[in-house]
Structure 1
Amino acid sequence: MVNPGGNTMFGLFKRDPSKRLFKAYERKLTEAMEASRNGDMRANARLTEEAEALRQEIQALRQA
Protein backbone atom coordinates (compact mmCIF):
# COMPACT_ATOMS: atom_id res chain seq x y z
CA MET A 1 0.00 0.00 0.00
CA VAL A 2 1.32 3.44 -0.89
CA ASN A 3 0.42 6.58 1.03
CA PRO A 4 0.02 10.01 -0.61
CA GLY A 5 3.60 10.94 0.30
CA GLY A 6 4.90 8.18 -1.96
CA ASN A 7 6.48 6.13 0.84
CA THR A 8 5.59 2.53 1.47
CA MET A 9 3.41 1.63 4.39
CA PHE A 10 6.38 0.35 6.35
CA GLY A 11 8.67 3.28 5.57
CA LEU A 12 8.57 4.42 9.17
CA PHE A 13 10.53 1.32 10.20
CA LYS A 14 13.52 2.22 8.05
CA ARG A 15 16.51 3.60 9.87
CA ASP A 16 17.63 7.15 9.34
CA PRO A 17 21.11 6.98 7.75
CA SER A 18 21.99 10.40 9.16
CA LYS A 19 21.78 8.99 12.71
CA ARG A 20 24.44 6.39 11.92
CA LEU A 21 26.63 9.03 10.31
CA PHE A 22 26.15 11.36 13.28
CA LYS A 23 27.38 8.67 15.67
CA ALA A 24 30.45 8.13 13.47
CA TYR A 25 30.95 11.92 13.39
CA GLU A 26 30.89 12.13 17.20
CA ARG A 27 33.28 9.16 17.45
CA LYS A 28 35.77 10.86 15.09
CA LEU A 29 35.63 14.09 17.09
CA THR A 30 36.24 12.17 20.32
CA GLU A 31 39.21 10.36 18.76
CA ALA A 32 40.55 13.70 17.51
CA MET A 33 40.26 15.20 20.99
CA GLU A 34 42.10 12.24 22.52
CA ALA A 35 44.84 12.48 19.89
CA SER A 36 45.21 16.18 20.67
CA ARG A 37 45.49 15.47 24.40
CA ASN A 38 48.22 12.93 23.66
CA GLY A 39 50.12 15.48 21.58
CA ASP A 40 49.55 13.78 18.23
CA MET A 41 48.56 16.81 16.18
CA ARG A 42 48.78 14.99 12.83
CA ALA A 43 46.25 12.41 13.94
CA ASN A 44 44.12 15.20 15.39
CA ALA A 45 44.12 17.05 12.05
CA ARG A 46 43.38 13.87 10.07
CA LEU A 47 40.52 12.81 12.34
CA THR A 48 39.05 16.32 12.39
CA GLU A 49 39.12 16.37 8.59
CA GLU A 50 37.36 13.00 8.46
CA ALA A 51 34.75 14.27 10.94
CA GLU A 52 34.18 17.35 8.78
CA ALA A 53 33.58 15.13 5.74
CA LEU A 54 31.01 13.15 7.73
CA ARG A 55 29.32 16.39 8.85
CA GLN A 56 29.00 17.49 5.24
CA GLU A 57 27.46 14.11 4.32
CA ILE A 58 24.96 14.48 7.16
CA GLN A 59 24.01 17.96 5.96
CA ALA A 60 23.54 16.70 2.40
CA LEU A 61 21.27 13.87 3.58
CA ARG A 62 19.15 16.18 5.72
CA GLN A 63 18.69 18.66 2.88
CA ALA A 64 17.63 15.96 0.41
Structure 2
Amino acid sequence: MKNYFGPIVRNCCTLEKGRLKEALMACDYCTESIEERYMCYHKTAKESGKRARACIAPVSLKKRPCRR
Protein backbone atom coordinates (compact mmCIF):
# COMPACT_ATOMS: atom_id res chain seq x y z
CA MET A 1 0.00 0.00 0.00
CA LYS A 2 1.35 3.38 -0.98
CA ASN A 3 1.96 6.00 1.69
CA TYR A 4 -0.17 9.04 0.86
CA PHE A 5 1.04 11.17 3.75
CA GLY A 6 3.85 13.43 2.68
CA PRO A 7 6.52 15.33 4.56
CA ILE A 8 4.11 18.09 5.60
CA VAL A 9 1.92 15.66 7.53
CA ARG A 10 4.91 13.88 9.05
CA ASN A 11 6.28 17.23 10.24
CA CYS A 12 2.90 18.22 11.66
CA CYS A 13 2.60 14.91 13.50
CA THR A 14 6.15 15.19 14.83
CA LEU A 15 5.44 18.65 16.17
CA GLU A 16 2.21 17.41 17.75
CA LYS A 17 4.06 14.55 19.44
CA GLY A 18 6.45 17.09 20.98
CA ARG A 19 3.55 19.26 22.15
CA LEU A 20 1.87 16.22 23.71
CA LYS A 21 5.03 15.25 25.60
CA GLU A 22 5.44 18.79 26.95
CA ALA A 23 1.78 18.99 27.99
CA LEU A 24 1.94 15.64 29.78
CA MET A 25 5.07 16.73 31.65
CA ALA A 26 3.21 19.90 32.66
CA CYS A 27 0.40 17.69 34.00
CA ASP A 28 2.93 15.83 36.12
CA TYR A 29 4.36 19.02 37.60
CA CYS A 30 1.14 21.00 38.04
CA THR A 31 -1.15 18.44 39.65
CA GLU A 32 -1.17 17.28 43.23
CA SER A 33 -3.67 14.43 43.27
CA ILE A 34 -4.07 11.35 41.12
CA GLU A 35 -7.56 12.46 40.07
CA GLU A 36 -6.29 15.87 38.90
CA ARG A 37 -3.48 14.21 36.99
CA TYR A 38 -5.91 11.79 35.32
CA MET A 39 -8.20 14.65 34.28
CA CYS A 40 -5.24 16.65 32.97
CA TYR A 41 -3.97 13.65 30.97
CA HIS A 42 -7.45 13.02 29.57
CA LYS A 43 -7.95 16.65 28.52
CA THR A 44 -4.46 16.84 27.02
CA ALA A 45 -4.95 13.63 25.03
CA LYS A 46 -8.28 14.85 23.65
CA GLU A 47 -6.81 18.17 22.54
CA SER A 48 -3.78 16.47 21.02
CA GLY A 49 -5.98 14.01 19.14
CA LYS A 50 -8.01 16.85 17.64
CA ARG A 51 -4.85 18.62 16.47
CA ALA A 52 -3.42 15.39 15.05
CA ARG A 53 -6.61 14.68 13.11
CA ALA A 54 -6.52 18.24 11.78
CA CYS A 55 -2.98 17.56 10.51
CA ILE A 56 -3.98 14.41 8.68
CA ALA A 57 -7.51 15.10 7.42
CA PRO A 58 -6.95 17.78 4.73
CA VAL A 59 -4.04 15.99 3.09
CA SER A 60 -5.49 12.50 3.23
CA LEU A 61 -8.77 13.62 1.63
CA LYS A 62 -7.01 15.34 -1.25
CA LYS A 63 -4.46 12.68 -2.15
CA ARG A 64 -6.30 9.39 -1.67
CA PRO A 65 -7.75 7.93 -4.84
CA CYS A 66 -11.48 7.28 -4.95
CA ARG A 67 -12.54 3.66 -4.89
CA ARG A 68 -15.83 2.67 -6.42
Q: Alignment partner for residue 23 of structure 1, among 10, 14, 25?
A: 14
Structure 2, unaligned runs of 5 or more: 1-5, 32-36, 63-68
User: Percent identity among equivalent residues?
Assistant: 13
Q: Alignment partner for residue 60 of structure 2, among 45, 59, 62?
A: 62
- TM-score normalised over the length of structure 1: 0.51
Q: Tell me, what secondary structure is at the counterpart of 2:13?
A: helix
Q: CA deviation at 1:32?
A: 1.2
Greater helix content: 2
- TM-score normalised over the length of structure 2: 0.49
Query: Which residue pairs with 1:10 in the alignment?
Result: none
Highest CA radius of gyration, 1 or 2? 1
Aligned-residue RMSD, C-alpha: 2.6
Moved >4 Å (runs of 4+) = none
Which AA in structure 1 matches 2:49? E
- CA distance in structure 2 between the aligned counterparts of 1:62 and 1:56, rounded to whole angstroms: 10
Q: Is the 8 A contact 1:18 1:62 kept in 2?
A: no
Query: Which residue pairs with 1:52 in the alignment?
Result: 49
Q: How many equivalent pairs are there?
A: 48
Q: Tell me, what secondary structure is at the counterpart of 2:18?
A: helix
Q: Tell me, what secondary structure is at the counterpart of 1:38?
A: helix
